[in-house]
Structure 1
Amino acid sequence: MNTKASAILLSAVVGVSLPAFADDMPAPASSGEQPSFGPSTSISITGVLPSTTEIKANAAKFDREKFRVDFSTQIPLNQSWVISASAGYEEENFDWKNIKNNVVPNSTIRPWDKLKSVEASVTLMHFYDQNWSFMLTPMIKAAYQDNYKASDAWRYGLVAGAMYRYESGNTLGFGLMYTNGVKGVNEVKAMPYVIVDWKLSDKLSVRNPFKNTFSGPAGIELAYDYSNNLTFSVGSAMRRNLFLAAGKDTKGEIEEIATFIATEWNISKSFTARGYLGYLSNGTLEFDNQNVKYDLDATAAAAFNLEYSF
């Protein structure tokens, strides 16, 4: 059974390439024992292949493709406490078509060629006993057009959760995710979420494909372990990207629902390859101070992820 969660990155905006909280936990301990595991580090690269999206209101289109690098490390402090840290950098290229001047008429929001983002988080997890565990994750992110500065786009957030692991190894939990808006824009979101890693049979399980981040909630997937090294899954999650669009106080947001099928291949103990095919639907493009919200046509998408752990 593969104990790593799929780093599902097939979305309009790729989420942090890290396991879901429930899958960060070690294999279940014997009754009366605390779980234990050693330090680990991983580096991953992700590519989202080009896809075309149309804005329904004006028939404008944009092609987009993405490249991302992630780094994460996990260090046990003792039998009860584990600390982990992650960082990621992403570039998303846009090629606009059928658009004359600005994205929004009579505004200063011009078509952008590239969106950049940098983000980091630190997670502190406490294993209270062989069943209960608790976690707290502060995180920061800046997403912005490449002709603006990251210093004007910083956001912060906080994720807290509690998990119960049954003797069978199945896990259920709950938590709350809090995020603020881009600097200069007063937007606060608080969202409850559910953590699940539940085996339906020896090969079939339900789990969260994403970590809860600025990119959205964890989502849900049904995974089938074909063998010890090969897993197939199907799932869905909402993805969102809030970015600095114009000036210091004008933000844009792309929000879509990603539905996907995925394959995860553990080539070796250290190296994992993943491939994804999916569909982005119910998309919107919104700008906060323009009172404008565009609907986006659905589009197909594909992605790959390569991860090396040591």
Structure 2
Amino acid sequence: MAKPLHSRVNINPSIVCIGLMPLLSYSVFAAEPRQEYKPFKVSVSQISTQSANVANGETELQRDSLLLNAGVTMPLSKQWSVGMRLGYDRLDYDWRNIRLTGANNTAALFSDAGASWENIDRYRASVSVNYRMDKHWSFMFSPQIQYAYADTASASNAQSYGVVASAMYAFESGNMLGVGVAYLNDIDEVRTLPYLAVSWQINDRWRLANPFQAGFSGPAGLELSYQFNPAWNVGLGNSRRTERFLIADDETVVETNEWVSYLRAGWRVTPAIALNLYAGYYFNGELEVTDEAALDLDNQGAAALDLEFRF
């Protein structure tokens, strides 16, 4: 019998990066020439997966996600800077051939009448305070809040909050390593994520870095990228992704956990515009429902597009 979700506290030593779903958070461009500072960033991302069987049965799930992000970073002095990030995500869960009885059923995900939930709204906000002590050490503190709920629940019961804190060391080469912890009081569950952050320029072409921002969507993973020229690069990455949201106001929560590997092609169209295309593969996935055993989610392919503007 699986332990109820509300009683679990996860300690996950996975690699994550500093800051605040699914596949995308921000693009990675290595060895870029110094450009005019642009404090504002806006991005639009679309992710689509193949249909996957749930609980090794007939029920199928196909997902589409639209992610909107806006952020700003402002220096206050040589040592201090602050940032703010806002986001809205629309997650569409397309259920097919729902099986409520018999072997390999998915009744735990739905009401007794079989009514399904299909759309999830997720609102995100975070503030970060950064302090650079000297040429080597820098520190970050970032509180964050999130509301994530299906069309069968209300926002008032879907609040999550947390904080990310870190310390990073910059070597003489400019490469950086850091450690920190993310404390996340998610819907009906507390998660604590120790993490290691890395930004390492191996040579003029190769770079190892965290491709995503840490937070409620889980660890940030690692990406190895190769820079062909100032405009084009490719990357190969891997990360564990989490989505947790309310599906009923009686504190019934669904959580998806899965790994994703991907190949990315990035194009710096102009100094202010970047485009990234992703081909990914989700694997070792599962869906958990409050007080129920986890249901297996079959492996599936995915594709994504991310467009970013800086100004």
TM-score normalised by the chain length of structure 2: 0.85
Which of 256, 262, 265 is 2:264 aligned to? 262
For residues 183 and 260 of structure 2, the distance between their equivalents in structure 1, rounded to whole angstroms, comes to: 22
Task: Give the Cα–Cα distance (whole angstroms) in 2 for the partners of residues 105 and 198 of structure 1.
Answer: 45
Which whole-Å CA distance do the structure 2 matches of 1:176 and 1:199 have between them?
24
Corresponding residue number in structure 2 for 1:160: 165
Question: Are 2:25 and 1:17 aligned?
Answer: yes
Q: Which amino acid in the other structure matches residue 269 of structure 2?
A: I
C-alpha distance 139-275 of structure 1, shift in aligned 2 (>3 A): same
- Between the aligned partners of 1:245 and 1:75, the Cα distance in structure 2 is 37
Task: Say whether the 8 Å CA contact 2:58–2:99 is kept in structure 1.
Answer: no
CA deviation after TM superposition for structure 1 residue 19, in Å: 6.6
Within-5 A mapping of 1:216-235: 216-235=218-237
Aligned to 1:279: 281
Contact 1:279–1:298 (8 Å) recurs in 2: yes
Letter in 1 for 2:70: F
Contact 1:256–1:282 (CA under 8 A) maintained in structure 2: yes
Distance change >3 Å, CA 188–CA 106, structure 1 → 2: closer
Match of 2:303 in 1: 302
User: Which SS does the other structure have where 2:156 is aligned?
Assistant: helix
Query: What amino acid is the match of 1:108?
Result: S
Secondary structure of the 1:292 match is: coil
Supply the AA of the counterpart residue of 1:215.
Answer: S
Measure the CA separation in 1 of the matches of 2:70 and 2:110.
38
1:224–1:231 contact (8 Å) kept in structure 2: yes
Does structure 1 residue 175 correspond to structure 2 residue 152?
no
* One-letter amino acid matched to 1:280: Y
Structure 1 residues 15 and 86, CA, compared in 2 at 3 Å: closer, same or farther? farther
Moved more, 139-148 or 293-302: 139-148
Quick one: which of 97, 104, 109 aligns to 2:107? 104
Shift of 1:18: 4.1
Which runs of structure 2 are paired with 1:68-217 in the superposition (5 Å)?
A: 68-100=67-99, 103-105=106-108, 108=111, 110-182=115-187, 185=188, 187-217=189-219
Percent of paired sites with the same residue? 32
With CA pairs under 8 Å and 6+ residues apart, which has the higher RCO, 1 or 2? 2
Corresponding residue SS for 1:191: strand
- Contact 2:186/2:216, CA 8 A, preserved across alignment: no
Which residue is 1:245 aligned to? Answer: 247
CA contact (8 A) 2:110 2:116 kept: no
Q: Which runs of 5+ in 1 are unaligned?
A: 1-5, 7-12, 29-36
Distance 1:106 1:303, change over 3 A: closer
How far off its partner does 1:247 sit?
2.3
Q: Is the 8 A contact 2:24 2:306 kept in 1?
A: no
For normalisation by structure 1, the TM-score amounts to 0.85
Name the CA distance, whole Å, in 1 between partners of 2:162 and 2:227: 34
The residue type paired with residue 180 of structure 1 is N
Contact 2:221–2:240, Cα closer than 8 Å, also in 1: yes
CA distance 1:82–1:136, change in 2 (3 Å) = same
Distance 1:105 1:16, change over 3 A: closer
Residues paired across the two proteins, number: 283
Q: Aligned to 1:279, what secondary structure does the other structure show?
A: strand
Distance 1:143 1:296 in 2: 21
- Flag the 1:52–1:165 CA change in 2: closer, same or farther, 3 A: same
CA RMSD of aligned residues (A): 2.3
Question: 1:106, 1:90 → 2: CA distance?
Answer: 21
Do the aligned residues in 2 keep the contact of 1:16 with 1:213 (CA within 8 Å)?
Answer: no
- Answering whether residue 52 of structure 2 is matched by residue 53 of structure 1, we say yes
1:19–1:279 CA distance, 2 compared to 1 (3 A): closer
